Amino acid sequence: MDKPSKSALVIGGGIAGIQAALDLADMGIHVDMVEKKPAIGGRMAQLDKTFPTNDCSICILAPKLSECFRHPNITLYAYSEVQKVEGEAGNFTVEILKRARYVKEDACINCGICAEKCPMRVDDEFDRQLRKRRAIYMYFLQGVPAIMTIDKEKCLWFTKNACRICEKACEREAIDFEQEDQIIKLENVGSIIVATGYNLVEDIDKKVLNIYGYGKFRNVVSALEFERLECASGPQGGHIKRFSDGTTPKKIAFLQCIGSRSDRVEKYCSSICCMYTTKEAMIAYEHDNELESYVFYIDMRAGGKGFQSFLKRGEAEYNIKYIKSKIAQITIDHNENPIIVYEDLDTGEIKQLRVDLVVLATCIVPPEGIYNLAEVLGIELNDYNFVKTTPFIPVETSKEGIFTCGCVHEPMDIPRSVAEASGAAARAAEVIRGG
Amino acid sequence: MSKEKEEEEARVGVFVCHCGSNIGGLIDCHKLAEEAKDFPNVAYSEDNLYTCSETGLAAIKKAVEEYNLNRVVVASCTPRTHEPLFRECITEAGLNPYLFNFVNIRDQCTWVHMKYPKEAYDKAKDLIRMGAAKAVKLEPLDMVMVKINPAALVIGGGVAGMSAALNLSRQGFKTYLVEKEEKLGGRLNSLYKLFPYNIEASELVGNLINNVQKAQNLEIMTSSQVKNIEGFVGNYEVEVEKNGSSQILEVGAIIVAVGSSLLNPEGLLGYDGKKRITQYELEPKLKNKELKAKDIVMIQCAGSRNDERPYCSSVCCMTALKNALNIKEQNPDAHVTILFRDLYTPGTDYEEYYREAREQGILFVKYDVDKMPVIEENQVKVFNEYIGTEMIVPYDLLVLSTPLVANDDNKELAQMLKVPLEANKFFLEAHVKLRPNDFATDGVYIGGSAKWPVDITESISQGYAAASRASTVLSHETLEVEGATSSLPEYNKSLCSGCEICVKVCPFHAIVKNENDEIEIIQALCKGCGVCGATCTNQAIVIKHFTDDQIMSEILAYGGK
């Protein structure tokens, strides 16, 4: 089939955006991919393992990151944002803001010497603020493109007009403080796919987690934080330790539906927590066979392929106990051990459990910047502020020629995100090929 | 790279990957890399935190250039996920991709021997020495090019299949849609309304059929069945039978969208087909507005999440809610009680639907699988642990929420396509996480409930997904396929006695006896499994990339210095 003159734009470089871009590119359609962060990879790159096979997440993702970067039909704009879209299905004009990294992309070889020398310590966003990075940094170890970025907000040169140590340290002369943001114009874009993923409720409003002691008690962490703690390349090198005293937890409580299925925060179900919680408890047990895990849940939602047997394995082989319950309160004792007060929904009794660590399965919420993106694209959001789709016309937004996939329109797991991404690519190809 | 360099004496580069802590957490990768320097023909070695990262790949390319390497060994994870990446990397460095050798020291050392770090280290060292020895013997190979016929076959005319066919035809590919029933529509034809927006199934299916019928490039074949499938990616020949006469379709890709079946409810929880029926039998009663019952009890997970069918059918909770709400709409005085284990309403709209059902006065009672509800003539006894007592719920209609099950004839189709089924006899995709709509066999794709029970929304998006995957093949005139295949080299032809054992043992039907009575290997079908080579009595067959010489060199290097 002849190479079409029209291209596709994929917004978001997580697993959904990556799959959509690769499918289109493999069809011979040119794809421009825009990612807000300095590197593609999205949430999946932050995960340690993936259910129900417990495959190492970055291990199965990394080849896809490379493929996206190398594919002759994909142009990658990382550290960039879409700021203007005009036109209609089959012929959009797009303006991309490509932020200055202050590092020459063709010169940097990601040797890391600049970061070693940089004197500034900054909270690491990728590691959920659980460790420090430098003001010049790689977004994450296996990040693609493998180029350093200077954090302008934190860099001493930009904030105090001092330092420039990185510039001296770089043998490749890749540091460029004069670099400027660029506006890139794309024309003849046939179709757009929105795949900007999600945030977690604590990213938007930590206060709603107050009643669970999050941010107040050191031994209460969120599930994504716990994921980073389990991960070999994470802040504790994969050895889980309590933040209060550095000891290894022997008893962990996993609390479900935190911020979701709730009248106070979000009404909807976050879809993936029952499964990833079981996975996190399994992995923690693999690290330490003396571990006891308690999962406090309302309904176990395990409808996908192999999910029921995954839960069974969790119970039978990984010392996980599932307690159908409602959480009333969390307090701590003098050793900062969390105490969970709950109503056992199987017996109706009010009970207490003292544990070493609490992990909160916090709710998926629409991604930061969704309102602005929706306005730029001219697409509608639904009652929950996710991108609006219709059940029987899936992957289609309210605007013709603009499609969507993954968690930006509803919480969902990786296989469904990937399937939807391919689905969105198919629909985009239909528009581009004039069908 | 120049041919000369490949033919020069082997200069092997060894790259030992820490794989984060997967390998590096247990054994000393730096020491391994250092020790590898002493192995024969190893010209360079280093260790990387992640050899597969862009940084690691750049290191390989740099070393190939600086040390003039002509063989590369990566000791890391598994070729299943990473071999294509490293092959591409060394191609970019100017080497033939088959001059790369993978050594798996993660799965085979640090994972399986995680309690024995010393032994894991020793084994990794042995494997690397063996891998380097094999690398020395590697030969450059060419990928095989196959022509692609830009046409597709979609098997199954339900919502997933119609969505797939519609998309492919609109992308410009000649598409055949084969349905064994007289009418397109599949499961949708037997449903009344659809959750979560309560539109009529007939409306949705009517629109879809209309679009499919209007589509260009799309040939609909109803009352038709697939009888035989020959060929390989890009070049399938499919025999389709209609009313006793057969037709051969030539297509480049095949999509499986055969859906699922209903569980036979006989013998299940008092089922009698009259007063005790299934959700699917309730649908027409609601459609015809003939439901008289006032006290309705529904039982979830009837026949699923048990030893025989350990899975959650994922659509039954929403189906029960939908039908319960429809009952309430037709008869606001009716009492509906749903006995459930875990209510499955994930996501936004479905959870809202559950709320609405509760607000409409539908009663939900959790039951425990160890204390199954007892069905009596006019009442159900169910133990409610929360109040610690048995509840008696009267009914004049009992509705069982039975699971979707795999089709009986999945096995036949799977055999024709040479694709696997999983334990519950649904089709098994290539990778549950990242290749949800592919099969391991190239050119064959899957969407909808044939793979696993899914709702209409997911069936449609998976139909599109399968179409997208097929399009990635169909969009090209030719495609490169694996070059490490079995072969009968010219110089070995005289050894072949024509016994045909290889023809019989080949699981991919890649070996035939041609019109000249000679053994011929169809490269595009061969997966390089090696069965033919192992059984060839005269050792005439050579498995490229796994030659006797290469394997012997590995064995001899084991335990050596």
Residue A176: inside a domain, yes or no? no
Residue to test with chain A: of B339, B404, B464, most A Cβ within 10 A: B464
Same domain for A340 and A394, yes or no, is no
φ/ψ of residue A187, rounded to 5: -120, 160
| Structural contact between residues B366 and B300, judged by C-beta atoms closer than 8 angstroms | no
State whether A349 and A419 are in the same domain.
no
Return the domain boundaries, chain B.
3-141, 151-260+406-479, 263-404, 486-544
Is pLDDT of B345 > 50?
Answer: yes
A127 lies in the same domain as A88: no
Query: Which tens digits make up the pLDDT trace of B9-20?
Result: 999 999 999 987
Contact, A402 vs A419, CB < 8 A? no
Question: In this structure, are A252 and A359 located in the same domain?
Answer: yes
* CA–centroid distance for B457 within its chain: 20
Residue of A nearest to B208 (CA): A392
- Of residues A63, A268, A424, nearest to B81 (C-beta): A63
Residue A18 within any structural domain of the chain: yes
The tens digit of pLDDT for each residue in B274-323 reads 999 999 999 999 999 999 999 999 999 999 999 999 999 999 999 999 99
Contact B55 A146 (CB under 8 A): yes
Which residues of chain A have a CB within 8 Å of the CB of B21?
A: 232-233, 237-238
Complex ipTM more than 0.85, yes or no = yes
Chain A residues whose CB is inside 8 A of the B385 CB are: 346-348
B14 pairs with which residues across the strands? B45, B73
β-bridge mates for residue B246, sequence order:
B241
Residue B1, pLDDT above cutoff 60 = no
Q: Which residues of B touch A56 (CB under 8 A)?
A: 19-20, 22
CB contact under 8 A, A346 and B460: no
Whole-angstrom CA distances from B111 to A280, A435, B21, B326 are 18, 50, 11, 53
Mean pLDDT lowest for which of A68-82, B18-32, B56-70, B233-247?
B18-32
pLDDT, average across residues B122-139:
96
Instruction: Classify the phi-psi angles of B33: left when phi > 0, otherwise alpha if psi is within -120 to 50, otherwise beta.
Output: alpha
Residues A320, A253: one domain? yes
CB-based contact A47:A233 (threshold 8 Å): no
Mean pLDDT of the region A209-226: 96
Q: Are the Cβ atoms of B433 and A50 closer than 8 angstroms? A: yes
- Specify if A76 maps to a domain: yes
Total domains in chain A come to: 3
In angstroms, what separates the C-alpha of A104 from chain B's closest C-alpha?
16
Instruction: Specify which residues B178 forms β-bridges with.
Output: B155, B221
Chain A residue closest in CA terms to B451: A305
Q: How far is A251 from chain B (nearest CA, A)?
A: 23
Per-residue pLDDT of A282-339, as tens digits, reads 999 999 999 999 999 999 999 999 999 999 999 999 999 999 999 999 999 999 999 9
- A407 belongs to a structural domain: yes
Structure tokens at A310: 């995954």
Same domain, yes or no, for A206 and A234?
yes
Encode pLDDT of A27-62 as tens digits: 999 999 999 999 999 999 999 999 999 989 998 998
From A26, A50, A395, residue closest to B464, measured CB to CB: A395
Q: How confident is the model over B346-388, as pLDDT tens digits?
A: 999 999 999 999 999 999 999 999 999 999 999 999 998 778 8
Nearest-neighbour CA in chain B from A293: distance (Å): 20
Residues A238 and A320 in one domain: yes
pLDDT on residue B114: 86
Cβ-Cβ contacts under 8 Å, B22 against chain A = 56, 59, 232
Give the angle A235-B113-B54 at the CA atoms, nearest 5°.
45
Find out whether B432 and B310 touch, Cβ atoms under 8 Å.
no
A396 φ, ψ (degrees, to nearest 5): -110, 135
* Contact assignment for B471 to A299 by CB distance below 8 Å: no
| pLDDT score recorded for residue B4 | 60
CB contact under 8 A, A110 and B457: no
Give me the sign of the Cα torsion angle A369, A372, A376, A381: positive
CATH number at residue A35: 3.50.50.60
Give the one of A67, A271, A394 whose C-beta lies nearest to B461's C-beta: A394
Please give the interface size between A and B, counted as residue pairs whose CB atoms are below 8 Å apart.
Answer: 247
In words, the CATH class of domain B3-141 is alpha beta
Contact list in A for residue B85 (CB cut-off 8 A) is: 62-63, 66-67
Residues A35 and A146 in one domain: no
Same domain, A318 and A230: yes
pLDDT (0 to 100) of residue A141: 84
Q: Given this model, what pLDDT does residue B5 score?
A: 66
B2 pLDDT higher than 60? no
User: Is residue A174, in this structure, part of any structural domain at all?
Assistant: no
Tokens representing B428 are: 């098994």
Task: Locate all alpha helices (DSSP H) within B185-271, ordered by sequence.
Answer: 201-214
| Contact (Cβ atoms closer than 8 angstroms) between residue A17 and residue A82 | no
Are A133 and A28 found together in one domain? no
Do residue B460 and residue A392 have CB atoms under 8 angstroms apart? Answer: yes
Is the domain spanning B151-260+406-479 CATH 3.50.90.10? The answer is no
Contact flag B172-A304 (C-beta cutoff 8 Å): no
Q: What is the CATH number of domain B486-544?
A: 3.30.70.20
Question: Does the pLDDT value for residue B80 go beyond 80?
Answer: no
Read off the pLDDT of residues B20-39 as tens digits, 9 standing for 90 and up: 778 998 999 999 999 999 99
Same-domain check for residues A42 and A126: no
- Strand duo B295-299 + B335-340: pairing: parallel
Q: Are residues A215 and A309 in the same domain?
A: yes
Find tokens 């395990």 and name the residue.
A302
Cα dist from B319 to B48, B169, B344, whole Å: 52, 32, 11
Q: Do A53 and B88 touch (CB under 8 A)?
A: no
Q: What is the pLDDT of residue B50?
A: 86
Residues spanned by the domain of A298: 202-363
CA dist B65 and A132 (Å) reads 36
Tell me, yes or no, if the two domains B151-260+406-479 and B263-404 fold the same way.
yes
Say how far apart CA B239 and CA B227 lie, in whole Å. 5
| pLDDT greater than 90 at residue B7 | no
Q: Which two tokens stand for residue B170?
A: 């609109």
Residue A375 has pLDDT above 50, yes or no: yes
Select the residue from B214, B348, B425 to test the A interface by mutation, using most A Cβ atoms within 10 A.
Answer: B348
Residue of chain A with shortest Cα separation from B78: A59
Tell me which fold the domain B263-404 belongs to.
Answer: FAD/NAD(P)-binding domain (3.50.50)
